[in-house]
Amino acid sequence: MQHQQPSAAVLAFSGMIALAVAMGIGRFAFTPLLPMMQQDAGLELAQAGWLAGANYLGYLVGALAAGALPWSVATQLRVGLAGVALTTALMAIGDSWTAWAAWRFIAGLGSAIVLVSTATLCMGRLAAMGKSNKAGIVFAGVGAGIALAGLLSMGLALAHVSSSTAWLVMGLMALLGTIAARRLWGSPASTSTSFRSTVPVPKSSGQSATDTDLPAQQAPSGESAHSVLLRHWRMIACYTSFGFGYILPATFLPAQARQLVSDPAVFGLAWPVFGIAAAASTLVTSRLLQAFSRRKIWIVSQLIMAVGVLLPALWTSIVAIVIAALCVGGTLLVITMIGMQEAQARGGAHARILTAAITTAFALGQLIGPIFFSVIHDWLGVSLAVALQLASAVLVLGVFFLLRPFPSAPSLAAPFH
């Protein structure tokens, strides 16, 4: 049976839904549901940190496994989405912390596989259609999923349902999203494609590459992959600081808001604001890149994020929480996208290796964050406010790695002003 190729708009929208499921639910549904689990399941902040760490460990494993699995990209996408939906629903069964950790680990693994496979399918096919400008719609799914999960959690909290019921509802939403995204794997091209064969090729040999759209396969530069990673240690270190710095507010903002305001109609707004800011940021980043260099945008964004992380630690107010959500949510995907573009521009013949390296660095940073907090909270009695101050300092430290331009790939990358 022949499948009709979806249009660029349908493809981008399907990719947006897939990322909304993977990231909004698979990665971050735990964040807005944490206040409900604290209330009816007695979950403590340190325990929540370990559960978040399990999810981020799964994300790290999934990111590493996605390029090594023998399945087609479409098969990985289906399995990843199904895993997110199933393990999200399983969070509703019982109150075993060990089981919760296992389900969150698998959900994180599935979300990483979905992210990689969705980007692979959408980016390659949109480029082939000459519609690469629709990539922002695809990645807006991350923020849209976060916002929708937050609004849904707020509504469920106002309806006074239990956290277990809320997890079932989230699982159902993930299942519906999986069905809605089915056009991503509905064509013969997607079902037979592997990760090793999905790198977009320029339309013609005379087509020039800009600093934000370099071909992933380039002529060998004579430089080893190891030397490329050593040459770009500052980029890798900066991306690690980024992962570590953002993850504490991305895990605990609603819980912080609940400590200040008991009304779920108020504290529940923190996470939707975070998601809306993230979704909007992907749509304006391309315009910013027309006026400013990547390095300037990255520096300013990371400093804004550092302010957002620090603010709730210094100012005990729901207003501070909302501003923090805007600052962190509004810069999360900007730095993510610019970092990926920079790795592609600077990596030369080893662009994919450098991209994988910064992705792994980011995953390590966000894995260390909540586990580090749980350890220092349990053993040293360190408060979340102090941990946020440390996270903000790490983000500022990462900015120092951006003060000097990154070295260019030989005769390939445009200057990173």
Looking at the structure, tell me whether residues 188 and 328 fall in a common domain: no
Q: What's the Cα-to-Cα distance from 282 to each of 49, 103, 119, 182, 329, rounded to whole Å?
A: 28, 30, 14, 23, 11
237-241, 269-273, 345-349: which is most confident: 237-241
Note whether 112 and 156 are same-domain residues. yes
Write down which residue in 194, 209, 241 finishes a domain.
194
Classify residue 331: in a domain, yes or no: yes
Answer whether residue 216 is part of any domain: no
Residues 291 and 186 in one domain: no
- Whether residue 213 lies inside any domain: the answer is no
Residues 31/271, Cβ–Cβ less than 8 Å = yes
Q: Return the pLDDT at 191.
A: 47
pLDDT-derived band at 223, boundaries 50, 70, 90: low
Q: Is residue 205 part of a domain?
A: no
pLDDT value, residue 196: 44
pLDDT grade for 272, boundaries at 50, 70 and 90: very high
* Contacts for 294 with CB less than 8 Å, ≥ 6 apart: 211, 212, 338, 341, 342, 416
Q: Are both 114 and 165 inside the same structural domain?
A: yes
Domain assignment present for 333: yes
Q: Inform me whether the pLDDT recorded for 91 exceeds 90.
A: yes
Pair (294, 400) in one structural domain: yes
Are residues 230 and 141 located together in one domain of the fold?
Answer: no
Q: What is the pLDDT of residues 60-76, one digit of tens each?
A: 898 888 767 788 888 98
Is residue 2 one of the residues assigned to a domain? Answer: no
316 and 185 together in one domain: no
Q: Which domain holds residue 90?
A: 7-194
Same domain (yes/no): 234, 171: no
- The reply to whether 185 and 81 lie within a common domain is yes
Q: What is the pLDDT of residues 363-398, one digit of tens each?
A: 899 889 888 888 898 898 888 899 999 999 999 999
The pLDDT tens digits of the residues spanning 131-155 come to: 767 777 888 899 899 999 999 999 9
Tell me which of 151, 173, 194 is where a domain ends.
194
Q: Does residue 152 lie in a domain region?
A: yes
Look-up: residue for tokens 């770009």?
Answer: 232
Domain CATH for 364: 1.20.1250.20
- 188 and 262 housed in the same domain: no
Q: In total, how many domains does the chain have?
A: 2
* 62 located within any domain: yes
pLDDT in tens, 338-351: 887 788 778 777 77
Looking at the structure, do residues 190 and 74 belong to the same domain, yes or no? yes
* 272 and 171 within one domain: no
Write down the pTM of the prediction.
0.79
